[in-house]
Structures are given as C-alpha cells and as structure tokens.
Amino acid sequence: MFLLRQPTDAVIQTFLQAQARLELTYAEKGATATTPPANYVVDRIRVRLGEGEQVFRRAKIGLEGWRQFDLGWLKAFPTNTPIRAGEVVAVVARTLGVYSLNAARIVYVTDEPRRFGFAYGTLPGHVERGEERFLVEMAADDSVWYDIQAFSQPKHMLTKIGYPFVRRLQKRFGRESAAAMIRVAALE
C-alpha cells in the first residue's frame, strides 16, 4: 500500500489485523531454508559481526528487537513483534516522499545454540511477493555472521514499472541492514 503521509500506529495496526487473516502471496513457503525457487530474483548478503558468545547474544537480541530494520527510512512495526511462526509484522518504508506499508508473516524460526533467525513471507498487503530470511550464526571458529537471503518478484503495478529503482532499494536495504547489525553486535 502506498501513502502520501506517514501512517499512524492506529492505521498500521488496523492494516495488520486485516492482513493477519490472509494467506501468503507465494507458494514456496520456507524455501529460504533450502534452495530459493528459480523463478524469483535472489539476493544474499553475509557479513562478519565479530567473534564470540557476547557478539552472538547481542546479534540475537538485535534480531528479536527488529533492529535490522532500524534504518531511518525503513522500520518494522511493531518492534516488539515476537519472533514466532505465524506472527504478522508491517514494514514501513519512505522513499521519494512516499510511504510504502507492507505486510509479512513469520513462516519459520531457527533457534539453536549457535544459530538464530527467522524468515517472513509476503501477504497481500505487500508490494512484492516472496520471502526473506534473517540469520545470525556462530561458526566453528567462533566468528559470528549475519546473513540475509531473499527471493522476490514485483507484485504491485508501481513496483513492476519502477523495478530498477526497487532493485536499488533492495540492495540498499541489504547494505544498511548489515551495517545496523554490525553496530548492534559491537555495543558493549
């Protein structure tokens, strides 16, 4: 949904309540955990956050608080949405003076001693169709990594028309989300 004004918390909450009853807009649910489908554009970014249990713990807390979306021009709502399969979240973006309100549902969660993350999939109130996974993991050498993997297609008419711009925004999100998680993991 595109808006000329920033949506209020009440507008976003009403939007989410309506979206929560709807089905995902793609058939390949959970494919970010295995092999992304061939008929989508696939993006992946992986950055080293540091080393050790404290870095891993801070990065996990960051994902639980949706800090990877705390980018100024983009935010998740509400930021206290539990990381649990079935939960619905809105992603609000502001670009070129226009707000984009998008709905997604958490489709799976990874919660292991050395890996934590989740994937969400698009709902009808999203301008794209697909899935995105956010993961922090501590490797055997105790290095800690943040990994995003996504597959997507444009769904809304405006995202189809402006697809080169949309691709630049997707790349920007990847870079800035990685930078946000590096900051989160480095906090003492």
- Give me the domains of the chain, ranges plus CATH numbers: 2-186 (3.30.530.20)
Residue linked to tokens 């807390």: 61
Dump pLDDT digits (tens) for 113-125.
Answer: 999 999 999 999 9
Q: Which residue has the higher pLDDT, 163 or 21?
A: 21
DSSP 90: E
Q: How far apart are CA 57 and CA 172, in angstroms?
A: 26
pTM value?
Answer: 0.94
Tell me the per-residue pLDDT of 55-103, one tens digit each, with 9 for 90 and over. Answer: 999 999 999 999 999 999 999 999 999 999 999 999 999 998 999 999 9
Say which DSSP state 57 is in: H
Beta-bridge partner residues of 28: none
Give the other-Cβ count within 10 Å of 167's Cβ. 14
Query: In which element (H, E) is residue 171 found?
Result: helix 163-186
Nearest to 56 by CA among 111, 134, 141, 138: 138
| Rounded Cα gap, residues 41 and 36, in angstroms | 9
pLDDT tier, 1 (very low <50, low <70, confident <90, very high otherwise): confident
Q: Using 50, 70 and 90 to split pLDDT, how confident is the model at 188?
A: low
As a dihedral over the C-alpha atoms of residue 176, residue 181, residue 182, residue 188, rounded to 10 degrees, the angle is 140
pLDDT tens, position by position, 119-158: 999 999 999 999 999 999 999 999 999 999 999 999 888 8
